[in-house]
Every structure is written in C-alpha cells, then in structure tokens.
Amino acid sequence: MSQIAQHVDYLNYISQNTMREFSIQSPNDGTVLAAAAVASHRVINSHLEAQEPQRALGNFQVLLQWMEERLNERVKAMEERPNGRVEAMEERLNGRVEAMEERLNVRVKAMEERLNERVEAMEERLNGRVEAMEERLNERVEAMEERLNKRVEAMEERLNERVKAMEEQLNGRVEAIEERLNERVEAMEERLNGRVEAMEERLNGRVEAMEERLQREGRGNGGAAQREGSRRWRSGST
C-alpha cells in the first residue's frame, strides 16, 4: 500500500500543478482541466480503495499512463488553441484597425472639407477686405488729387499774378529806360549838331579866308579856276 500511496501522492501533485499552471495561462481552460483532474483523481481513489493492493497498483499504473496520455493530448490541444485565438485576435485587430483607418479617413476628409470651406470663407473675407481697402485708398487718392489740383491751381494763379506784376514792373522800367535813353540820344544829337554847326562855321570861315587869300593872290584864268573850284567845294560841303 505504500507504493500505491506514493503513486496517489504523485497523482495529486500532478493534478495540483496542472490546475495551477493552466489556471494562470488560461483561466477558463485551466479550471476545466483542473476539474477533470480532480474528478479523475477521485475515481482513481475510489477504485484503489475497493481493490487489492497488487491489482490496484497495476490498475493504477494503467490509469496513470492513460491519464498522462489524456493530459498530454489536452495540453497539446491547449497549446494549439492560443494560436487560433491569436489569429482570431489578429483578425479582429486587423478588422478594428481597418475600421479605424476608414473612420480616420472619413474624419480626415471631413476635416479637409471643413478646412477648405474655412479657407474659402477666409479668402472671400480677405477679398472683401482688400476690395474695401482698395476703394478707401482710391477715395483717399482722389481726394488727395483734388486737393493737390486745387493747390496747384492756386499756385498757378498766384504765379500768374506775380508774373503779371513783374511784367508791369519790367514794362515800367523799360519805358523809363527808353525815355532816359531817348532823352540822352536827343541830348547827344543836340550836342553833336552844335558841334557840327560849330565845325561848319569854323570851316566856312577858313574857306572864306582861303578864298579871299586866293582872290588876292590869283591871276588870270588860273585864279578864276581856283575860285571856281573853291566855290564848288564850299557848295558841296554845305
């Protein structure tokens, strides 16, 4: 019975470790396997208690082998299940990722549309502001042009008035200068005429003196010819 007890303890150890390991790796499958191990342990104990020691030991060894084979099969099945679960999880994750990508694409498109709408609205507002600024600038430029034109016209009027005043002053000065020049020319003409008359008188006196001397000195035809020449010269000089 001591060997049987040892085998029973070994079976208890295997069942407890199996239950602990599979409860950690997979709670659901570990619980099922542990429950199966406990149930089979109970069945084995009931059979062993009812049988003779030698026969019970042989049956126990057979049951132990059978239990090991079943446990190995279940362990293999348990090991294969995570792969299927991982694949299923991967498929679900891929599906979720694809769905998230689709939702993100939809959101991105919606955001792009909203951004485009906002950009268009901003462009419209900016265009309106630019047009309003252009209108205000044009109005200001026109007002400045009007003021400048008025100032230029006023300056032209003042310049014309000054030019007219200067022309009048210049005309007055020119007339005064002309009058003074005319007076000076007349005075010079009078002085020249006086000098010419004085020179003529002196020349006539000299000619008469020469004629008298020639008359006294002249003889015959020669003297008459000289008197005739002197008379012609005197008549030509006058």
54 falls within a domain: yes
Query: Domain containing 30: what range?
Result: 2-101
Q: What is the pLDDT of residue 81?
A: 65
154 falls within a domain: no
Q: What is the pLDDT of residue 7?
A: 53
- What is the torsion angle, in degrees rounded to the nearest 10, for the CA atoms of residue 124, residue 126, residue 132 and residue 137? -150
Report the distance separating Cα 119 and Cα 111, nearest Å.
Answer: 12
131 falls within a domain: no
Domains in the chain: how many in total? 1
Burial class of residue 207 (count of CB atoms within 10 Å of its CB; 0-12, 13-18, 19+): middle
215 falls within a domain: no
State yes or no: pLDDT of 232 exceeds 90.
Answer: no
Query: 0.85 cut: is pTM over it?
Result: no
Q: What is the CA radius of gyration of the chain?
A: 77
- Highest-pLDDT range among 67-76, 79-88, 170-179, 203-212: 170-179
To the nearest 10 degrees (0 to 180), the angle between helices 2-25 and 53-217 is 20
11 falls within a domain: yes
153 falls within a domain: no
Residue type, 71: L
155 falls within a domain: no
How confident is the model over 150-173, as pLDDT tens digits? 999 999 999 999 999 999 999 989
State yes or no: pLDDT of 85 exceeds 60.
Answer: yes
209 falls within a domain: no
More confident residue, 34 or 153: 153
Using CA atoms, how far residue 131 sits from 118, 121, 139, 140, 144, in Å, is 19, 15, 12, 14, 20
Lowest model confidence (mean pLDDT) among 6-20, 128-142, 145-159, 164-178: 6-20
Q: How confident is the model at residue 200 (pLDDT cuts 50, 70, 90)?
A: confident
Overall average pLDDT of the 140-150 stretch:
93
Lowest model confidence (mean pLDDT) among 55-59, 66-70, 165-169: 55-59
